[in-house]
Amino acid sequence: MAPQLVVRACPPFRVAGQGAAKAVAGLERRAGELLDRPELERARAMVPRARVDFLAGRLAQRLLAAELLGVRAQNLAASYSCPQCGTGPDVPHGRPGYTLDGVPVPLLLSLSRAAGWTLLAAVTAPAAGQRLGVDAEDPQRMDFDGFDTVALTPAERHAVASLGGTALLRGRALLWARKEAFLKMTGEGLKRPPEALDVLARAGVRDLAPAESGLPEQLVAAVALG
Ligand SMILES: CC(C)(COP(=O)(O)OP(=O)(O)OC[C@H]1O[C@@H](n2cnc3c(N)ncnc32)[C@H](O)[C@@H]1OP(=O)(O)O)[C@@H](O)C(=O)NCCC(=O)NCCS
C-alpha cells in the first residue's frame, strides 16, 4: 500500500451562547473517557479557552487515527516524542503518535491550531523514515513591527518587500506556516532559528489551499513531508 496524505480541518469549538455549557461538559466527559492521563494532566493546567481547544484537538486527532487504522479510539495509547524529554506514554508534548497493544501504529500524524480551528494531517502506510509536519496560521496575527526581522531570511524579506496590507500579512503567514510545518517534520520546533530557515522553495514543503485543507479562506496552511 502506498503512503497517503490525509488532511482534515475541525471547526472551532463554541464556548459561548446557547447550549455551549452543555457542549463543553460533553467534551470534558468524552476527553475523560478517551484521552490518556498525561494528556488530561496537561489540559488541567490550562485556562478554559485553551483547555477546550486542546481537548477538542487531541480528541479529533485520536478519532482520526482510529478511523484511519480501523481500530477503537480507546484502544490507542498516546505516545509523544520530544527532542528533550524522549518518547513514550508519559510524555505529554512534542510529535504526536500512538501505540496499539504497546506497538507503535503505522501512521504519521501532525496537528496545528489557529483561530480556534484544528488542522490535522496524517500519512497512512508511511515509508520507513518518513516524517510529516503541518501548520495553520491566521494572517491577522502577523501584523506587528519586526516580524520580518525575527522570522524571515534576507531572501524571504525581499520576496514580501513589495507587498502591503492584507497581501503582506498573508505572505508572511504563508512563509511562517511553511517554517513551522518543516520544523514539526524535523521535530526541532522553534529551537531552530526560523530566520535562518529559507522556505521559499524547500523540497517537501508546500502550501495547502483551503480546498485541500478544509480551512476557511482567511487562514493559511502548509505541509512538509520528507
Ligand atoms: C512545534 C511548535 C513550532 C508548534 O508551535 P505552535 O504554533 O505553538 O502550535 P501549533 O498549534 O501549530 O502546533 C501544536 C502542535 O505541534 C505539535 N508539536 C509540538 N512539538 C513538536 C515537535 N517537536 N515536533 C513535531 N510536532 C510537534 C503537537 O502536536 C502540538 O499539539 P498539542 O498542543 O496537542 O501537543 C512549537 O510548539 C515548538 O517550537 N515546540 C518545540 C519546543 C520544544 O522542543 N520544547 C521542549 C519542551 S521540553
Question: What spacing in Å lies between the alpha carbon of 184 and ligand 1's midpoint?
Answer: 7
Confidence at 206, pLDDT banded by 50, 70, 90: very high
Question: What spacing in Å lies between the alpha carbon of 185 and ligand 1's midpoint?
Answer: 11
Residue having the nearest C-alpha atom to atom 12 of ligand 1: 112
What string of DSSP letters covers the chain?
---EEEEEEEPPPP-SSTTHHHHHHHHHHHHHHHS-HHHHHHHHTS-HHHHHHHHHHHHHHHHHHHHHHTS-GGGEEE-EEETTTEEETT--SSB--EEETTEE-SEEEEEEEETTEEEEEEEESPPTT--EEEEEE-GGGG-STTHHHHH--HHHHHHHTT--HHHHHHHHHHHHHHHHHHHHHHS-GGGS-GGG---TT-TTEEE--HHHH---TT-EEEEEE-
Confidence at 1, pLDDT banded by 50, 70, 90: confident
Atom of ligand 1 nearest to the CA of 184: 25
What integer pLDDT is reported at residue 189 of this predicted model?
94
pLDDT in tens, 104-131: 999 999 999 999 999 999 999 999 999 9
pLDDT average, residue stretch 42-67: 97
What integer pLDDT is reported at residue 73 of this predicted model?
98
Question: What spacing in Å lies between the alpha carbon of 94 and ligand 1's midpoint?
Answer: 5
pLDDT average, residue stretch 178-185: 98
Percent over 90 (pLDDT), the chain: 97
Residue corresponding to grid cell 487504522:
69
pLDDT average, residue stretch 3-27: 95
By most ligand atoms within 8 Å of CB, the mutation choice from 13, 93, 113, 213 for ligand 1 is 93
Domains annotated on the chain, with CATH:
12-105 (3.90.470), 125-226 (3.90.470.20)
Question: What spacing in Å lies between the alpha carbon of 18 and ligand 1's midpoint?
Answer: 33
What integer pLDDT is reported at residue 192 of this predicted model?
95
pLDDT in tens, 145-181: 899 999 999 999 999 999 999 999 999 999 999 999 9
What integer pLDDT is reported at residue 221 of this predicted model?
98
Percent over 70 (pLDDT), the chain: 100
